[in-house]
Amino acid sequence: MKLKLILVTVSVIFTLVQAQTPEEEVYNSFLMGEYYQFTNDNEKAEYYYLLVLEENPESITIYKTLTDFYLDIKDYDNAVIILIQAINIFPDNNEFINTLLNIYIYQDQTEKIKSLLEDQILIHPNNVDLKLKLASFYYSENKWIEIIKLYSDVYIIDNARSDVIQTMIELGMQSHEYDALINGFKKLIDYNPINPEIIITYFQLLYIVGDNDQVLTELLLLNQKYPNNIYVNNQIGQHYNDHSDFAKSDSVYISLIESDNHNVTTLNNYAYNISIRENSGIKMLQTALDYASLALDQDPENASFLDTVGWIYYKMEKNELAEYFIIQSLKYNDSNPIIFEHLGDIYVSMNNMMNAISAYENAIEIDSQNEIIQKKIEKIKIND
């Protein structure tokens, strides 16, 4: 069968060779190349393929054919030459780029890998795949700062890639490249200053790697840059509250609410902060309840808002209402240990120790390292 096929192919080819037009000559050379490759006469196959390339240097087909041919015979040097030519002519063709990259990886040509990816990123600055490939290469060389920069670029190009944010944080913390990590988040904030998750994560990092004065300085600088940014102002209010500067915290929150009393984030945050202060009297707790209720009216299925209302009722010693709202909160979010802890505290206040232990144990299942909740369970069991 193989002999018959070869004879037929030869017959067809020699018939076609009689054609005179340049297009037909190129086509016939291509067929001759395929024929000789099929018969394992690689020298002649290469000769005819190169003839086609010389006559038709902008044909993507001949570059793909020659690449496959050289890879098939393991002539990687010539494959590289053809691929470089192809990439110069077809710079948007990822197949050529990836093939060349794979050859360099196979040959362990680290500098060429780096050079190829960096050059291609200059040509295609919004190509996420290239940036991630370069980040993977840098990972093998422990270039953490460069990786963090690349990941911040990737998120700016494609903000659906929240996974790169987590990877940025993990790399920055593990490598202790805190400045690079902070600068990466500043870059993200400059790109999208109304993204609350980025802003909140940024300040969480500052609290971890910096001191309180540095955090406040960064907050105020960011506020100067984005004076009407609700999320930045909320963080300022939160900072003052966390450091017991309640007068300044109240001033920030009240100013925000007066300018926009429909912002549920501000309403809930301020209400919850009032509720957890040790010396909040009934008047302040009622104010907190009013604000929390406004937030809940706008988003009645929000677990955090329901928890805030429940906790305020607890602080007001209205345990039945507190229990109701906390249980409602758990219907929408049963993965937050704080909500279970709140429910346990309410049951302790109601002297329902069995339910309190159950609630605390649910919290421990989620946060097994929480020593505060562990001590609450132990205290109940000792007193029993």
113-122, 130-139, 212-221, 316-325 — which is least confidently predicted?
212-221
185 touches 198 (CB < 8 A): yes
CA angle 84, 89, 91 (to 5 degrees): 80
Instruction: For residues 376 and 264, give the distance between their C-alpha atoms in angstroms, rounded to a whole number.
Output: 32
Q: What is the 3-state secondary structure (H, E, C) of 161-190?
A: CHHHHHHHHHHHHHHCCHHHHHHHHHHHHH
pLDDT digits (tens, 9 = 90+) for 93-102: 889 999 999 9
Q: Would you give the distance in Å from CA 150 to the centre of its chain?
A: 12
Per the structure block, which two tokens stand in for 22? 């340049």
1 pLDDT exceeds 70? no
- Of the pLDDT bands very low, low, confident and very high (cuts 50, 70, 90), residue 269 is very high
Per the structure block, which two tokens stand in for 238? 């939160």
260 pLDDT exceeds 70? yes
pLDDT digits (tens, 9 = 90+) for 51-103: 999 988 899 999 999 999 999 999 999 999 999 999 999 988 889 999 999 99
210 pLDDT exceeds 80? no
Query: b or e along 98-113 (b: 16 or more beta carbons within 10 Å of the residue's beta carbon)?
Result: ebbbebbeeeeeeebb
155 touches 132 (CB < 8 A): no
Query: Which spans in 59-127 are helix H?
Result: 60-72, 76-89, 94-106, 110-123
312 touches 275 (CB < 8 A): yes
Whole-number pLDDT of residue 19: 45
Instruction: For residues 216 and 213, give the distance between their C-alpha atoms in angstroms, rounded to a whole number.
Output: 5
Residue whose token pair is 């132990």: 378
Long-range contacts of 319-325 (CB under 8 A, 24+ apart): 319/346, 319/349, 319/350, 322/346, 323/347, 323/350
Whole-number pLDDT of residue 20: 52
Whole-number pLDDT of residue 348: 96
21-30, 121-130, 177-186 — which is least confidently predicted?
21-30
194-203, 231-240, 273-282 — which is least confidently predicted?
194-203
Mean confidence (pLDDT) of the chain: 90
Q: What is the mean pLDDT of residues 313-334?
A: 97
248 touches 240 (CB < 8 A): yes
pLDDT digits (tens, 9 = 90+) for 367-381: 999 999 999 999 998
Of the candidates 309, 292, 377, 313, which has an alpha carbon nearest to the alpha carbon of residue 341?
377
Of the candidates 109, 110, 148, 106, which has an alpha carbon nearest to the alpha carbon of residue 131?
148
